[in-house]
Structures are given as structure tokens and as C-alpha cells.
Structure 1
Amino acid sequence: MTRIVRRLLYALALPALLASLWWLGSRGSQSIYAPPLSTILSVTDDVWTTDRLTRDVLPSLLRLTGGYTLAALAGIGLGVLIGTYRAVRALTEPVLEFFRAVPPPVLIPVIMLFAGIGDTMKVTVIAAGCVWPILLNTVEGVRAVDGVLAETARSYGITGVSRLRRLVLPAAAPQIFAGLRQALSIGIILMVISEMSAASNGLGFTVVQFQRSFAIPEMWSGILLLGTIGFLLSVVFQAVERRALAWYHGLRASKGSG
């Protein structure tokens, strides 16, 4: 229990310090564009009601979940294929490097032409940006499988799905999770960007509407809500990662103590 409390204190110490500095530094501010933190917090309860959370926050989270899930499935699946077969890697690497260099926000007008302006477009934009860190980290993780272990598995006749499940995925899991972690932050950014144009709801749409109507404290409250959501998603992801990679962290801890 003490360990959990210590981790919680470490996680909240810096945000609490920054919030205190913001509160003190903005106290008495007369700027319309940088209102005091007390003013921003005072409008938060009025702005982010249950109705608005259902109308704007929930659709954003559903789009993020859909795009992130598609990216994870495609990135891990293609990453395992490309990382396992050298010929496939040599064939696809130039194309992958080309598409990876294209910023996903640039693709929004193109995706609109084929997917319209509904949720399909937004989910596709999120997936298109999230897939690259997952794919590239999976490829590198599969390529880094220990050669001795691979030869041992081959000599014992462990092939196909059994080799994938017992050797390749566990060995590549740390790098796969590293890619998933990077993709999560990218997904939040693209979720907001995709909702800033051709949208009728969502967090990005709401923040822009506040900005356009000069509801500046309400706009800042939306930004704070986005940061809070990002923080909570990061905490959930770290908990899942620690559970899934408990064997890996235990192995590193044993090596460090040895």
C-alpha cells in the first residue's frame, strides 16, 4: 500500500506544483486571453455538464478507441509479417518510409474525399497516424528476437502459430508496448485535429467553438480537460503495461540486483 501511495505522490507532485505556480502567477490577471486559473476552474462545472460530456467527450473517446484499435491490429500484424520475412521487409521498406514521412493532418482533405466528414474520416485519421510507431517498433522487436532462441525453437519443431505465440510476440512485446505508448499520445492529438474541421461535436470542435466565440475561460477549461484525459489514459496504459510485461520488468529487476 505504501508503494502505491508513493507512486501516486510522484505522479501528482509536479502537476500540483505547476498548478500552484499557475494559480499564483495568473492571480489578478486582466488579460482576456490569459484569465486567472480561478476563473477557468469556476466555469468548468458549468461548462462540462453531464449532457456536454455525453455529447462531446464520449464521441471523442469512442473515435480515439476505434482508430487506436485499428492501428494496433494493423501495426502489430504487419509488423510481425515484415519483421519475420526479410524479402517482405526489403520490398516494403521504401514505401513505408515514404508514407511515414507524410504528416497525418495533411491527409485529412484526402480522407474526406473518400470517407466523407463523419466519424469514419476521424477514425481513419487517428488510425493513419497511430499505426506507424506501432508498426516500426513491432518490426524492430521481431527482428531483435534472440538468434539462439530462434534456432532452439526451430530444432524442437516449434513453428507457425506456436512459434509466434511462444517466442516472437513475448520477445517483441517490450518494443510493441513502446510503440503503443507513443501511438496513444499521437492518437489524442489527431483526435482533436480531426474534430477541428467538418465536425459537429467532440472535444476539438468544442474548444474551437469556444475560441471563435471568445469564451476564453471555457476554451481553457476544455484544454485542461484534454490534458486530464491524456493523463488518465496514460495511467491506465501504464497499469496494463506493467501487468502484461510483469515477467520482463521482473527479469530486469533481477539483473539489476545481481
Structure 2
Amino acid sequence: MAPRTPKPLNGAARRIGRLGVEILPPVALITVWWFASSASTSLYFPPLRTIVTALRQDWLFAQFGSDAVPSLEHLAAGFVLATAAGVLVGLALGLVPFLADTVSPLLEFARATPSVALVPAAVLLMGVGTEVQVVVIASATVWPVLLNTADGVRSLDPVLADVARSYRIRRRDRLVMALRAASPQIVAGMRTALSIGVIMIVFSEMVGSAHGIGFQLLQDQRNFDIPGMWAGMVLLGVLGYLLNIAFRGFERALLGWHRGMRRTHL
């Protein structure tokens, strides 16, 4: 008898398999960390059990609303501002090569300036407040969106652009067409920008802030609250992971047509 060919997995089974593969490494890492640190007596590397206790006591109840929520609000505002500015400027640079060549030195100078270095200047110009955090986060996260947008618009098929001009399609519709063609690269830039934004939360709140995750991390370090400091870092990692999962859902919903086209070409 001929051997039976295995049945292909359905969509639900594949998703469950991918989820298991994704969850297994963090679970294994946490398990190793838990048992390897259980007998630790080091002041600087407390047991994971102590860190989890500090995380539950500090962040799940007392400080989540006063520190974590404002940090997420700053991240959301800076990310939205950076995305809007990056898409608009990137679209203009991608469609007008002369403009891109003209402003290229200025963009390279601004991009090479570390956003962390802007924090003291932003505090001097705008004072202490939410605006400083939002501006610093936006200044760091705008570049992946801007550069990916410009590159995606430039990579538009020239034949498609010529056909659109030949049929006298309205400029507004041509802009929509260019954005749609560049949307996979724009979303990739947004995903990178989101990761940078999580990092910039800490830097933007360590100077010129009286609350937030970054501020609390600095306070724990100054007060020598080592478990609390580790708990804040674990919280940042968990928030970054959850934000990445949420963004993947947004990406699947927005770029479903793109994945369908790729499957038809395979």
C-alpha cells in the first residue's frame, strides 16, 4: 500500500502552532530565570519572585494609573504625530525628486542628531510638561516612517504611473494610489517607530517630568529600590510585547490585500 500523505493543516491549526512557537521561548526564559535566581542573595540581582512581587504591588495597582497610563498617552500622541508628519513629508519627497535632493542635507543632519540630546533643549524651550515628552518621542519615531514612505513612493511602478497620467486620473486619486502602493513599507516603518517610541518613553520622562515609567525608574534607582527598578524594566518589556501584538493585528487588517496578492504570485 502506498503511504498516506499527511493532511495539510487548516488555518486555525497553523495559527495555534505559530502561537505555541512564539510563546515557548519567553516561557522557557522565565522558567530558567525563576529557578536560577531563586537562591540569589545579591542586592543587585534579586530573585525573580521578589521582582514579580514588586511588579504586582507597585504597577498593577498603585502606580499604573499615575505613571504607566500617562506614559502610554505620551507614546500614542508622539506616535500619531510622527506617523502623520512622516507620511506627508515622505510622500512629498517621494513624488518630487528635486525637493528630495534639495532638503537631503538638512534631513541627514536632523536624522544624525540623537533625539536624546534634544531633551534638555526641549525642556528649556517648552518647560516641564506633556509637550516635552510628546515632541521628543515624535522626533525619534518620525524617521522610520518618513524614510520608508519616501522609498515606497519612489518604488511605484513607472508603467503604472504613466498609465495613470495617460488616462488623466485626478492628482488626488494618484496620491491615493501611491500611498496604497507604499503602504507595506509605511507600515513596516510604523512598526519600527513603535519600538523606538517605547525606548524613548524612558528618556523623555527622566528629564523634565514628575510622573511616568521613566521617572519612576529613575526614582527607584536613586532610592536604591532595586526590585522596583527591575519591576519597571519588566513592565516596559511586557508593554512593548503587547503593543507589538496589537500592531500586528492592525497590520493584518490593513494589509490583508497585500498578503492575498503575494499568495497569488507564489
1:179 to 176, 189, 198: 189
Q: Where does residue 170 of structure 1 map in the other structure?
A: 180
Shift, 1:73, TM fit = 0.3
Q: Deviations over 1:204-240 (max 9, x none)?
A: 1111111111111111111111100000000011110
Q: How many residues align?
A: 255
Shift, 1:6, TM fit = 2.3
1: CA distance between counterparts of 2:217 and 2:15?
Answer: 35
2:206 to 184, 192, 196: 196
2:255 to 241, 245, 256: 245
2: CA distance between counterparts of 1:198 and 1:72?
Answer: 24
Q: Where does residue 14 of structure 1 map in the other structure?
A: 25
Instruction: Find the residue that maps to 2:209 and give its secondary structure.
Output: coil
Shift, 1:71, TM fit = 0.3
Q: Deviations over 1:57-97 (max 9, x none)?
A: 00000000000100000000010011101111111111101
| Matched letter for residue 159 of structure 2 | V
Shift, 1:249, TM fit = 1.2
8 A contact 2:153–2:178 mirrored in 1: yes
Q: Where does residue 255 of structure 1 map in the other structure?
A: 265
Shift, 1:51, TM fit = 3.8
8 A contact 2:144–2:189 mirrored in 1: yes
What is the TM-score normalised by the length of structure 1?
0.96
Instruction: Find the residue that maps to 1:44 and give its secondary structure.
Output: helix
Instruction: Find the residue that maps to 1:48 and give its secondary structure.
Output: helix
Shift, 1:110, TM fit = 1.2
Instruction: Find the residue that maps to 1:145 and give its secondary structure.
Output: coil
1: CA distance between counterparts of 2:172 and 2:157?
Answer: 18
2: CA distance between counterparts of 1:214 and 1:188?
Answer: 24
| Structure 1 residue runs without a partner (length 5+) | none
Q: Deviations over 1:125-147 (max 9, x none)?
A: 00000111110110000000001
1: CA distance between counterparts of 2:184 and 2:120?
Answer: 35
Counting aligned pairs with the same residue, the percent is 43
| Matched letter for residue 247 of structure 2 | F
Which range is displaced more, 42-51 or 74-83? 42-51
Counterpart mapping for 1:42-121 below 5 A: 42-121=53-132
1:213 to 208, 223, 240: 223
2: CA distance between counterparts of 1:67 and 1:60?
Answer: 11
| Matched letter for residue 125 of structure 1 | V
Q: Where does residue 161 of structure 2 map in the other structure?
A: 150
1: CA distance between counterparts of 2:174 and 2:67?
Answer: 44
2: CA distance between counterparts of 1:197 and 1:184?
Answer: 21
Larger Rg: 2
| Structure 2 residue runs without a partner (length 5+) | 1-11
Root-mean-square deviation (CA, aligned residues, Å) is: 1.1
Shift, 1:182, TM fit = 0.8
Which range is displaced more, 60-69 or 154-163? 154-163
Instruction: Find the residue that maps to 2:224 and give its secondary structure.
Output: coil
2: CA distance between counterparts of 1:210 and 1:51?
Answer: 15
